[in-house]
Amino acid sequence: MINKDNLNSNKKKFRFNKWFFGAVILSVFLFFFFRAVSLGLLSGEIDSRFEIQKVFFLPAVNKEVQTESKPLKIGIITDTHVRPSRMGQYSNELHMVERRLTPSQLAPINAFVMEMEKFQPDLIIHLGDVIEGSGDTEEIGRLGLKLVKEELEKVGVPILWVLGNHELRAVTKEQFKDSLGINYLDEYFDWGDYRLIILDANHSKKVSKEESENSLNLKLSSGFLPEETLDWLEDALDTPKATFVFCHYAIFDQVFFGEKGRPRLSLKPAARVRDLFENYEVSGVFNGHIEYRRFEETNGVKYFSLPGTVKSKTYPGSFYTLTIDKGEPKLKMFYQAGGRHGEYVDVSFEDEESFLELNND
């Protein structure tokens, strides 16, 4: 005979255990969810191997960095201008000949990778002109991108890629993205209290943005931002997070003269872009391209123009470490003192006394 009292008691225990178990599962889920939000680890993607947050909702506060925030460490390299060279017997069939990066092309990249092993960055940013591109086939261009990516991946952290103008001498924008396994040209990435904006200024007044996606050899001496990119940029800047912009092209308000008296131009419309940076209190702006070292702080915005690994005779083999602590960027520059075969030295990028007279040989 079934004891109804025992049955009812068992049912109550079952309901209690079921409720208690559900409450435990919900508590664990909420703990990890809010922990992820607090660390800024919401879903997002930088490349096919690493996932980083791209936050879609933000607290309505002023641009203030939490004092307990962990410093963000970024390795920066730019203007590597590689061109894979034949390593086998000459052949007219290019795909039959193995091509690799030469020792001279690899040397500054290897030095960068070794320094990153000490620096332990959270991520790496390549500021563009990964390859030389001039006169190269699509196959050679794609291979160059792949080989540089393989070298930088040895550091074992996410890599953000900025499109330069030399890539477009061999591959299209779509081929650039495909070769590196990325899905962006203009994008922002949120990391804790910081927003990193990747900006593509490879456009022309004479070609629509859509047409430029599959165009080669656009006339891109100094860069241009069309209206729709400016609108996108303003939206990206509208955040309470401390913001840093990375663009291949310089964004200065005057012309400078570099090695051998060459004019160093900025993208257009530089004045309008700089107004946006000031209005939205951008913390730092970084460019490559012009092979001209310059630091400027205007109305609270810090601008850093970085020579690359190959073309600068004044700062040969250059690469950088960037530490952002409590919203303040500290950039350290590494270069080979005395020429291509010299020992690497490092200096604070902002230190006026470490600026060298331009090498015009």
What is the bridge-based pairing of β-strands 319-325 and 328-336?
antiparallel
The pair phi, psi for residue 296, each rounded to 5°, is -145, 140
Q: What's the pLDDT score for residue 25? A: 58
> What's the confidence (pLDDT) of residue 212?
60
SS3 327: coil
- CA-to-CA distance for 249 and 292, rounded, in angstroms? 11
Q: What is the 3-state secondary structure (H, E, C) of 227-287?
A: HHHHHHHHHHHCCCCEEEEEECCCCCCCCEECHHHCEECCCECHHHHHHHHHHCCCCEEEE
Q: Hey, where are the domains in the chain?
A: 1-39, 43-354
Per-residue pLDDT at 360 = 84
Looking at domain 43-354, its CATH class is: alpha beta
What is the residue-level pLDDT of the chain in tens, covering all 361 positions? 444 444 344 444 444 454 555 555 566 555 555 444 444 444 344 444 444 444 333 333 357 666 567 899 999 999 999 999 987 655 555 555 789 999 999 999 999 999 999 999 999 999 999 999 999 999 999 999 999 999 999 999 999 999 999 999 999 999 999 999 999 999 999 999 999 999 999 998 776 666 666 666 666 668 999 999 999 999 999 999 999 999 999 999 988 889 988 888 899 999 999 999 999 999 999 999 999 999 999 999 999 999 999 999 999 999 999 999 999 999 999 999 989 999 999 999 999 999 999 998 7
CA dihedral 122, 128, 134, 139 (to 10 degrees): 40
**Model pTM score:** 0.81
Q: Which two tokens stand for residue 112?
A: 């960068």
Backbone CA torsion sign across 339, 341, 343, 345: positive
> Residue 314 is encoded by which pair of tokens?
């004044």
Strand partners, 336: 344
